Structure 1
């Protein structure tokens, strides 16, 4: 089942972009709310349109990355599927916790866990998939930036 790499990529692509869509719904227009715009934000906070471009690029690349991993391992590898699922959940959950519920400290915990998980993906599978690891690097870089933005809000508000 799902031995075709193209079908596998399409499935991961849909699942990853579903996370983005669900995250947008759960944030309840968060970046445009008075609560968020009145926060003391980090000076390196990108303009709003950058977030959409960054996340679209990240999820496109991550779909290739996770497809490659599942081709190297059994596609139903419990550990890999669990890690992917936890990553998906944390990614979606952060939007709700931070923007919808305004729980910036809990948001920081969630985003740190997500950053650590993406770091684990990056370095744990490096020897197995070698140069394909470059496909997850944008995710790791963006999570580093996003974590710093969340931390700044926690510490300066």
Structure 2
């Protein structure tokens, strides 16, 4: 498959996943539960989350387009599907159900999946494109620390 159709496909899937995750959040970041949490001092302002996820999903979609253009395997497809499921389910567990420990487990697994993409799929044709995963990796480390802080301090 060619790059542009793949890019469009992954942009739709990734931003669609964000939309579904946002829908599963319910009141999310504006809920009484969340606003009254003892949050980490390094919690960014609300607008940063939208900006970060927009950048992350654009970079991730470009990376996936290059990966899938040259390499299609059941493993790569399965890891991608797992990433989508984990990404969407974290919102539901944390914001909607207030299940902080299961959410921490999910976001930790999601972090491991993205690191798996970075360290496993380093073929010559994709090697330099894997650095597009860095914003996702950094953000997940921050988000995991925020989730852990909420678990320990509330």
TM-score range, shorter chain: over 0.9
From 98, 101, 104, give the equivalent of 2:100: 104
| Counterpart position of 2:15 | 17
Structure 1: gaps (5+ residues): none
Is residue 153 of structure 1 aligned with residue 150 of structure 2?
Answer: yes
- Counterpart for residue 27 of structure 2: 29
TM-score (norm 1): 0.95
In structure 2, distance between residues paired with 1:142 and 1:49: 14
After superposition, residues 60-99 of structure 1 pair within 5 angstroms as: 60-74=58-72, 77-99=73-95
Q: Residue 136 of structure 2 aligns with which residue?
A: 139
Matched residue SS, 1:43: coil
Instruction: Name the structure 2 match of 1:51.
Output: 49
Contact 2:11 2:57 in 1 (8 A): yes
Give the CA RMSD over aligned residues.
0.8
Partner of 2:115: 119
How far apart are the structure 2 equivalents of 1:70 and 1:127? 12
The CA deviation at 1:127 is 4.2
Structure 2: unaligned runs, 5 residues or longer: none
How many pairs are equivalent? 153
User: Could you tell me how far apart the structure 2 residues matched to 1:136 and 1:112 are?
Assistant: 16
TM-score by length of 2: 0.97
1:50, 1:93 → 2: CA distance?
21
